[in-house]
């Protein structure tokens, strides 16, 4: 009996020594009390993460970088990755991550209950956690809201020389056009973009700079994500720009998400799902959205007062996954139509 036990112990010790040589060392033991996030969402400190740790005792570790860097890292690490969660902005990026096999299925009734279906992957590999609207911004001293209506109507000749736009090289515009393609098809979307281009827009590769140009009178209207304006207004309440909710009588204003998925090879999968569930709860949603002046994805959560002041609006309710599905088509279309200066985005 004692001889058997000694033999077993010796065998275990030998296996432990051999494991790295056999490649068994690649199996990283799960650290029961942590979650490692690869994050491309950079809005400073996240109080929602601190609240999660306080509530559950689960520590959060984070590695930050651009979406491209995080993708490359996950791909290179394969099943050895220490990352449990991929957190990033734009449904187009989440869609690409899922398509590359970097995410695993989320089977969580809680996430399904907290987040509207159009803000989640139809195949359950990622979930939107905050909502951003990309809409028309206008100079309040030069434009009356009654002059505005839809994205399409920015092709009206009355806006000639008065528009600031981003190029097709940035994902935010690609996603807007991708949603249009999903709704109205390529020929119609191309007609819209050609209408904008015919108005000789000033092309600027930064949403914040577009807003500054509108305020400075360089152009009168533009298209940006809503939270860039909220950020400016938080510091300068007199900034002369307001959002106009586009397409209220038709398709609704284009919205996108920042969101997350659990990695395909997560070592702390249960904790990762628990974190996403917590981030979708009304309590965490408010904190998480507030950091970046975004809208919570969970309709039960409150909105930041600066953003709430702009009122409720009809959102385009098509699934945000179309941002990924039609991304390539949108980029080609915009390039064809001339919405391009060849510069890279910031
Ligand atoms: Fe952004």
Q: How far is the CA of 152 from the centre of ligand 1 (A)?
A: 23
pLDDT score of 341: 58
Q: For residue range 136-180, what is the model confidence (pLDDT) as tens digits?
A: 999 999 999 999 999 999 999 999 999 999 987 788 999 999 999
pLDDT score of 24: 40
pLDDT score of 179: 94
Q: What is the DSSP string of 206-245?
A: -HHHHHHHHHHTS-SEEEEEHHHHHHHHHH-TT--EEEE-
- pTM exceeds 0.75 for this model: yes
Q: How far is the CA of 206 from the centre of ligand 1 (A)?
A: 9
pLDDT score of 167: 85
Q: How far is the CA of 126 from the centre of ligand 1 (A)?
A: 19
Q: Which residues of the chain have pLDDT under 50?
A: 1-6, 11-29, 342-346
> Residue 32 and residue 84: Cα distance in Å, rounded?
12
- Sequence-distant (6+) residues with CB within 8 A of 249 are 149, 150
Q: What is the DSSP string of 299-339?
A: TTS---HHHHTT---PBP-S-TTHHHHTHHHHHHHHHHHT-
Q: How far is the CA of 25 from the centre of ligand 1 (A)?
A: 40
């Amino acid at each position: 009996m004692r001889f058997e036990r000694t033999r077993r112990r010796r065998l275990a010790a030998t296996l432990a020594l051999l494991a790295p040589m056999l490649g068994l060392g690649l199996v990283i033991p799960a650290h029961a009390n942590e979650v490692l996030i690869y994050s491309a969402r950079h809005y400073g400190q996240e109080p929602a993460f601190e609240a999660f740790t306080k509530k559950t005792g689960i520590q959060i570790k984070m590695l930050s970088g651009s979406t491209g860097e995080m993708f490359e890292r996950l791909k290179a690490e394969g099943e050895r990755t220490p990352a449990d969660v991929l957190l990033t902005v734009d449904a187009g990026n989440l869609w690409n991550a899922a398509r590359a096999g970097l995410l695993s299925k989320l089977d969580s009734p809680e996430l399904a209950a907290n987040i509207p279906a159009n803000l989640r992957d139809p195949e359950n590999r990622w979930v939107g956690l905050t909502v951003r609207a990309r809409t028309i911004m206008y100079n309040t001293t030069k434009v009356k809201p009654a002059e505005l209506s839809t994205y399409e109507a920015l092709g009206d000749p009355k806006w000639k020389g008065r528009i600031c736009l981003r190029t097709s090289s940035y994902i935010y515009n690609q996603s807007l056009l991708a949603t249009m393609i999903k709704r109205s098809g390529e020929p119609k979307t191309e007609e819209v973009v050609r209408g904008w281009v015919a108005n000789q827009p000033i092309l600027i590769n930064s949403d914040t700079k577009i807003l500054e140009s509108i305020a400075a009178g360089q152009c009168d209207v533009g298209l940006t994500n809503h939270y860039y304006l909220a950020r400016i207004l938080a510091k300068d309440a007199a900034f002369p720009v307001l959002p106009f909710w586009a397409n209220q009588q038709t398709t609704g204003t284009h919205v996108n998400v920042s969101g997350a998925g659990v990695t395909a090879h997560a070592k702390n999968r249960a904790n990762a799902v628990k974190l996403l569930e917590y981030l979708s709860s009304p309590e965490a949603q408010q904190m998480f959205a507030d950091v970046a002046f975004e809208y919570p994805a969970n309709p039960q959560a409150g909105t930041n007062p600066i953003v709430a002041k702009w009122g409720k609006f009809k959102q385009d309710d098509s699934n945000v996954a179309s941002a990924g599905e039609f991304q390539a088509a949108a980029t080609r279309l915009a390039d064809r139509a001339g919405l391009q200066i060849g510069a890279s985005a910031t």
